[in-house]
Structure 1
């Protein structure tokens, strides 16, 4: 069934012959998925590493696993959010004025389902551009932050902050270097990103 037929219905049986092959199968399947599954699918397709955590102790354990996997213990990290400092302190990671941070530890504004991207603002990355951030990012987010698209993300920022809007609103879409770079990747900055997703619904 064509997308137009779904919206407008069919005036006759003979108008059924619409070529559905112009839509990729993944787009059709993806559009029907709930937003959390849609985000997971697109995020992994973009090269992101996804770790689901049911509670904070599981989140801390997964964070330690990431540190061990990459040999980041007792290294330096960039972290601009005081609420995340304890995660670094507990693992003896220096974050005050780091000279060569191995990774960024941050939260985000939203997780964008239709792109599998991460929406950041000055609350997480101050005025830094994506290419000024470390190549590795460990992101702490919650399931309630998953939203359908960027428009919803911007509305959520407006609702959440009412008057004191954050600046430097940006998204990161690519989490591995593209094998065949084309115009869609032009100006993008690929990051090796781990998502620690905490269940809060």
Structure 2
């Protein structure tokens, strides 16, 4: 009787033989090599380019005055009236220049803009690292159709691992229960491969980067 060996049996036989033969790892230092090449250039420029490439809108501000002036101009153009801000540090800046905002969640279903800070800006892919450790919690960056983030140059890092390092330095063992990485406005192309913005979150995403 002829011995019949299927393709599956041949493959399993090769696997068994390979497991029995002990060989040295041909790439012993592979895991120690960096995944990406070193960042060459300014982090702010890299972040801005990558962020705008995924439909984000970016504004660099030298100081708080320029930030408020840019925000006022933008709000006037878009006719924003219901801007919600829950983080004390951000509220302090807006109050200093008498910029109107909602500090509670009253009529939150009518919110037009959610205004938050962030944990870090990831230059490599133009992403924003957020957590629920601050007063903005989980809702303010998700529900309103427009999300505005105020960030500082000191929060710019090359890669995601550097962002997590900042979190570790800031919170120690009390890591926030929610950490999210946002890359551009919410989007989907599930239906007929047509790109739709604002499918599961904000339709527009702005980053104001302060030098100081």
**In 1, Cα distance between equivalents of 2:163 and 2:194:** 27
Q: 169, 180, 186: which one pairs with 1:170?
A: 180
Q: Tell me the number of residue pairs that the alignment of Structure 1 and Structure 2 aligns.
A: 167
Change (3 A) 1:36 1:55: same
Residue matched to 2:23 = none
Given the two structures, how large is their TM-score scaled by the length of structure 1?
Answer: 0.71
**In 2, Cα distance between equivalents of 1:108 and 1:36:** 15
**In 2, Cα distance between equivalents of 1:190 and 1:139:** 12
Provide, for residues 134-155 of structure 1, a one-character-per-residue CA deviation record: whole Å limited to 9, x for no partner. Answer: 1201111111111111111111
Change (3 A) 1:189 1:93: closer
Residue matched to 1:68 = 76
Gap runs ≥5 in structure 1: 1-26
Instruction: Measure how far apart 1:165 and its partner are.
Output: 2.3
Q: How does 1:99-138 map to 2 (within 5 A)?
A: 99=107, 100-124=110-134, 125-128=136-139, 132-138=142-148
Change (3 A) 1:92 1:38: closer
| Structural RMSD (CA) | 2.9
Given the two structures, how large is their TM-score scaled by the length of structure 2?
Answer: 0.67
SS of aligned partner of 1:94? coil
**In 1, Cα distance between equivalents of 2:100 and 2:184:** 29
**In 1, Cα distance between equivalents of 2:104 and 2:202:** 25
Q: Larger helix proportion, structure 1 or 2?
A: 1
Larger Rg: 2
Q: How does 1:1-201 map to 2 (within 5 A)?
A: 32-72=40-80, 75-86=81-92, 90-99=98-107, 100-124=110-134, 125-128=136-139, 132-175=142-185, 177=187, 180=193, 189=201, 191-200=203-212
